[in-house]
């Protein structure tokens, strides 16, 4: 691993062999058998203590995040807040969601059925490099609360922060061995991890997600996939420019554009296009970049020189095919090995990489629109559907537009944070942006299997002694009509 700001070596990261991965799952399974027997209240006590440790160590975690990923200090601190937020939500919600639910059976009064949630076993989590601490821990927390063990594979570039987080969980009382870590490149580690897991949680590219989904399907295990996006923002003609400007700038350039839900396309009303474009370009042009472990720079580094080259190639391709750079557009090796200027493009089309493929950097394309119908059509003209944003003063109108956008998340008068931080509501993608969701009840229940425990108190299923079957059928059909009339379930 390297220090992203300087390119200097940080630490030698051992790479896991298939045998190492199998051993990690074996250890996690051994610990999980005992963990699953703990009462839920006892398991939650561990996370109550972990919440305090995670908050108290936020600055140390932020140091690690900055060193391994190059993000600015604000983004690093905000990332450390995600696992405590997830813990707070599920500490309150898990007892109700995981409690057995008793319901009526097929025969009123003499039968019942109880829904019982049991842990899957050991969950495999493949965490990305853009938010390694948040995804490495936050996706694991509900799985652990539900009684599972976890084996996480962080990205090779960003393993230090999740490792530190796991140490804090163990300090809080999580049994040793329950939360395992394996390291390696995806093609080397992924197959054995998926083949060994009882469920897989993956955050990353759509192409890799397809491979993981196919392998999980062959193994008859479930998976949750949060994949790529080409996220749009529609700005309505009644927008307050001062209210919009900072939110839009963060939505595009937060984490140097390396947020799965960040905005890559902005649609501006033709009548106000010049005004809004000029304000946004001026804001982008004055953003500060820097390699610093303080809250000064607004933008940090991209994660690696290779990724910087990829972002640059999207801009170069767009310019070669007729797009205009309104500000930015250049790598900044004078600041650090992987810095790239905040970039605003105009005239981008779907024939360009920046017009159809996720750039995942500090690059956005501005587009004018003549009618709201056109804006919605353009926003939906993509294979992706992870996040979208609508801005306007008239909230009812903005909500009407939001309802027409094909996306798993839609933020009104915000770019992305409100949807993602709403831990009580599931967050996932549609179309090529994923399968399943994190957060909400769904984000906990996906890590469980349902056991249906049914009880029959009296033997009434079938004809009574001496009753012919025709009479029994007549009685049964009459009972069905009566149950419907009385709404008996």
Q: What is the rounded CA–CA span in Å between residue 76 and residue 412?
A: 25
- Count CB neighbours of 287 within 10 A: 17
- The structure tokens 């989590």 sit at 125
As a dihedral over the C-alpha atoms of residue 155, residue 159, residue 164, residue 168, rounded to 10 degrees, the angle is 20
List the catalytic residue out of 68, 78, 226, 358: 226
Q: Is 260 a catalytic residue?
A: yes
Q: Is 170 a catalytic residue?
A: no
List the catalytic residue out of 260, 264, 308, 341: 260
- The structure tokens 């009618």 sit at 371
Q: What is the rounded CA–CA span in Å between residue 257 and residue 253?
A: 5
For residue 330, the number of C-alpha atoms closer than 13 Å in the C-beta half-sphere is: 7
Cα 111 to the chain's mean position, in Å? 41
Distances (CA, A) of 429 to 142, 272, 472: 19, 31, 50
Distances (CA, A) of 274 to 246, 324, 373, 388, 414: 18, 15, 20, 22, 22
Q: Are 87 and 165 in contact (CB under 8 A)?
A: no
Length of the chain: 489
DSSP character string of 225-245: EE----EEEEE-TT--HHHHH
Residue 38 CB contacts under 8 Å (≥ 6 apart), including other chains = 147
219: buried, middle or exposed (CB in 10 Å: 19+, 13-18, 0-12)? middle
Q: Is 82 helix (H, G, I), strand (E, B) or coil?
A: helix
Cα distance between the two ends of the chain = 59
| CA nearest to 392, candidates 243, 200, 183, 258 | 243
Record the tokens describing residue 465, joined without a space: 């002694």
- The structure tokens 């009684």 sit at 147
Query: What is the set of active-site residues?
Result: 226, 260
């Amino acid at each position: 691993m390297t220090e992203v700001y300087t390119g200097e070596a940080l630490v030698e990261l051992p790479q896991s062999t298939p045998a190492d991965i199998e051993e990690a799952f074996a250890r996690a399974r051994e610990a999980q058998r005992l963990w699953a027997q703990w009462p839920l209240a006892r398991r939650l006590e561990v996370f109550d203590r972990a919440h305090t440790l995670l908050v108290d160590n936020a600055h140390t975690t932020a140091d690690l995040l900055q060193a391994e990923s190059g993000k600015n200090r604000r983004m690093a601190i905000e990332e450390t807040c995600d696992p405590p937020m997830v813990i707070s939500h599920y500490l309150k919600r898990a007892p109700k969601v995981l409690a057995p639910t008793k319901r009526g059976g097929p025969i009123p009064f003499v039968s019942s059925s109880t829904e019982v949630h049991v842990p899957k076993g050991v969950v495999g989590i493949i965490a990305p490099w853009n938010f390694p601490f948040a995804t490495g821990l936050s996706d694991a927390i509900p799985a652990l609360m539900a009684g599972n063990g976890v084996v996480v594979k962080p990205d090779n570039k960003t393993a230090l922060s999740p490792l530190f987080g796991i140490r804090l969980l163990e300090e809080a009382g999580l049994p040793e061995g329950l939360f395992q870590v394996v390291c390696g490149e995806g093609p080397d580690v992924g197959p054995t991890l998926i083949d060994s897991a009882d469920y897989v949680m993956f955050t990353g590219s759509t192409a890799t997600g397809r491979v993981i989904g196919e392998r999980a399907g062959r193994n008859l295990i479930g998976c949750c996939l949060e994949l790529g996006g080409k996220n749009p923002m529609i700005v309505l003609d009644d927008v307050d420019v001062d209210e919009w400007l900072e939110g839009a700038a963060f939505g595009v350039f937060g984490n140097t554009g390396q947020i799965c839900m960040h905005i890559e396309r902005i649609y501006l009303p033709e009548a106000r296009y010049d005004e809004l474009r000029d304000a946004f370009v001026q804001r982008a042009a004055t953003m500060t970049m820097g390699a610093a472990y303080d809250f000064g720079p607004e933008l940090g580094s991209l994660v690696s020189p290779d990724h910087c080259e990829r972002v640059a190639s999207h801009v170069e391709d767009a310019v070669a095919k007729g797009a205009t750079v309104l500000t930015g557009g250049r790598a900044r090796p004078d600041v650090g090995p992987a810095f790239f200027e905040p970039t605003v493009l105009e005239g981008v089309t779907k024939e360009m990489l920046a017009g159809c493929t996720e750039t995942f950097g500090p690059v956005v394309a501005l587009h004018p629109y003549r009618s709201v119908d056109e804006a919605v059509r353009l926003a939906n003209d993509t294979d992706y559907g992870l996040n979208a944003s609508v801005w306007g003063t008239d909230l009812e109108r903005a909500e009407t537009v939001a309802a027409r956008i094909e996306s798993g998340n839609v933020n009104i008068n915000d770019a992305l944070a409100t949807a993602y931080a709403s831990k009580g509501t599931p967050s996932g993608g549609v179309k090529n942006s994923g399968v399943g969701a994190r957060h909400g009840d769904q984000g906990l229940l996906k890590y469980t299997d349902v056991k249906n425990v049914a009880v029959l108190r009296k033997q009434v299923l079938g004809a009574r002694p001496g009753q012919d079957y025709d009479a029994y059928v007549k009685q049964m059909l009459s009972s069905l009509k009566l149950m419907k009339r009385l709404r008996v379930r």
